[in-house]
Amino acid sequence: MSKVEINKLKIGDVIDDAFDCGDSQFNAMIKNSYFANLCRQIYIYDIKIDNKLLGYLAFSVARVDVNFSESFEKDNSYKYPGIINLEYIAIDKNYQKLGIGTASLDNFICYIRNISKTIPITFITLEPLPGKEEWYKKKYFEFDNEIMYLDLKDDEERKIIEENIRMGGAL
């Protein structure tokens, strides 16, 4: 297979009306997200191989007060995390089950991990479609309060935070 290319839609680029992921409601959501992209509320990327449109990926950026479960309660580095919310990954119905969605998710996670080294992003979050939970779990996403999240801190960072908390220090 050729390399999967993921490129941000630019002003003037539009959602292809012929795109069909096989779910009419999801197709409508994708088309309706174009205006939010223009307003920079979300960022939409097209997914292509050999310049052929195969899908779309969209995400938003937030910094919110999160009420995670007790497991996060003592770690105030999670109180107001920078969050990248994966709004959707949608692959054309004719190209599903070929690993394109997985390759796109892998590229997206790698991209956000790299960004998180220079700006304060703590998590990637998402609300999975029913039946897709296991797919995200394979990529180390976990559930908490009906959302899935991927903690972007590496093991060394977590160890330092845990030690700081154990010693009673503030972050």
What CATH number is attached to the domain comprising 13? 3.40.630.30
For the cut 50, the answer to whether the pLDDT of residue 130 exceeds it is yes
Strands 123-126 and 82-91: parallel
Classify residue 78 by its DSSP letter.
Answer: G
Per-residue burial over 117-136, b if 16 or more Cβ lie within 10 Å, else e, is eeeebbbbbbebeeeeeeeb
Query: Does position 67 have pLDDT exceeding 60, yes or no?
Result: no
> What pLDDT does 171 receive?
47
The span from the CA of 77 to the CA of 171, in Å, is: 7
Look up the domain containing 132 and give its range: 5-166
Number of domains in the chain: 1
171 located within any domain: no
Residue 97 covered by a domain:
yes
Q: What is the pLDDT of residue 35?
A: 84
Q: Full-prediction pTM beyond 0.85? A: no
Tokens of 161: 């935070």
- Which tens digits make up the pLDDT trace of 12-65? 788 888 999 999 998 999 988 888 887 778 899 999 999 999 999 999 987 655
